[in-house]
Amino acid sequence: MKKLYLDIDGVLLTTSNIRAAKGAVDLLYYVLENFDCYWLTTHCHDNDTTHAISYLSQYFYQSVVEKMKSIKPAAWTALKTEGIDFESDFIWLDDYPREAEKDVLRQHGCYRSLIQVNLDNKDELFDVIQKLKALQ
């Protein structure tokens, strides 16, 4: 099963007036059913999902939070790409990857594995689901 690395802020949650992004629950259900999911976020970079789950529980129904608990942590320190298994087939959803992280993806020949999310776009997460379906 293809791995999927998932950011929180700017992907599942809006960055201003923080709330669940439109389509976030649909995206979560889709990726949890179709991918081997990992958190790749500042809320979970130390192999412990406790903070991420606690943070998200403020914005999602408990039934959704329970499903999120199956998402594994991806450990990293300086660059999120440290948490990516480059030996596997993967997709990374992030709103603002750093240039250094993009360079690492290019060095590994997998820049196309990045889907950059822009929640300012209308129906962005529904479009992301369509992109994911096309990549399966």
Helix (H, G, I), strand (E, B) or coil at 9: strand
- Count of domains in the chain? 1
- Residue (of 125, 114, 124) closest to 27 by Cα position: 125
pLDDT score, position 36: 98
pLDDT tens-digit series, residues 47-102? 899 999 999 999 999 999 999 999 999 999 999 999 999 999 999 999 999 999 99
How confident is the model at residue 47, as a pLDDT? 87
As a whole number, mean pLDDT of residues 6-20 equals 96
Residue 79's CATH number = 3.40.50.1000
What is the pLDDT at residue 62? 97
pLDDT at 83: 97
User: Which residues lie closer than 8 Å to 26 by C-beta, 6 or more apart?
Assistant: 125, 126, 129
Return d(Cα 113, Cα 23) in angstroms, integer. 21
* Rounded CA separation 24/13 (Å): 8
pLDDT at 45: 80
Range of 111's domain? 3-135
